[in-house]
Amino acid sequence: MIVAFLGAPYAGKGTYAKMISEKHDIPTVSMGQLLRDLSKENSELAMEIKSYIDKGILIPDEKMLEILENELKKEKYSKNVILDGYPRTLSQAVMEEGKIDLEVVILFTTSMETIIDRGAGRRTCKDCERIYHVKNIPPKKEGICDVCGGKLYQRDDETPKAIKNRLEIFEKNIGPIVKYYERKGILKRINSDPPYEEINKIIKPLEMAIGLR
């Protein structure tokens, strides 16, 4: 079974993918992390990925699909897998047809207020990259990482203005994808507005939507 988790930045798709993965022993594929890992290798593919990044251009959809197909050939994905944040464009969704058999697509719906609160409150350690939140996951000492003592900072793309810009791009891309999967009858929506301490309000409906017990 292949399931795709889609949602705006800070909608929680990565968090819930990890929770479902750990609880039900289902591996996940995050295209962002996969590309970062591949770019560190000493290979032609790594050089190709780096060339796109260095030029500041998007990796072509054909190449993205090729990379994903090769990754899914690994034995650990032979039964079930969660795609975290893929596809990101209608072109990617259409190109999957006949190549990647998606059974369920989960769209996490979240209010703009919640997204901005989650994103703008994030702080990242400059040394170990551990993530905190000024309200939800604060460090023991303000501005200092609990783990390595590194300085915490706010990324440029996590200011309220930057987040709003990212949301505009997301909304522009997600609309056609939603309609595409609705026509196929495999799209299901999960409200991910509830805070972390009310996680069961999300996990249980999510498990039912995927068909897990």
In the residue annotation, 166 being an active-site residue is answered as yes
Rounded to whole angstroms, the Cα distance separating 114 from 136 reads 12
- Cα angle 34-40-45, degrees, rounded to a multiple of 5: 75
In the residue annotation, 183 being an active-site residue is answered as no
Q: Are strands 152-153 and 122-125 parallel, antiparallel or unpaired?
A: antiparallel
β-pair partners for 84: 5, 30
What is the separation, in whole angstroms, between the first and last Cα of the chain? 15
SS3 content of the chain, % helix, strand, coil (to 5): 50, 20, 30
In the residue annotation, 36 being an active-site residue is answered as no
In the residue annotation, 155 being an active-site residue is answered as yes
Rounded to whole angstroms, the Cα distance separating 210 from 104 reads 7
- List 36, 155, 184, 204, catalytic entry: 155
- List 18, 63, 130, 166, catalytic entry: 166
CA atoms within 13 A on the CB side of 39: 13
In the residue annotation, 122 being an active-site residue is answered as yes
Rounded to whole angstroms, the Cα distance separating 72 from 66 reads 10
Return the closest-CA partner of residue 30 out of 82, 106, 79, 65.
Answer: 82
The residue written with tokens 């409200």 in the block is 191
Q: Which residues are catalytic?
A: 13, 88, 122, 155, 166
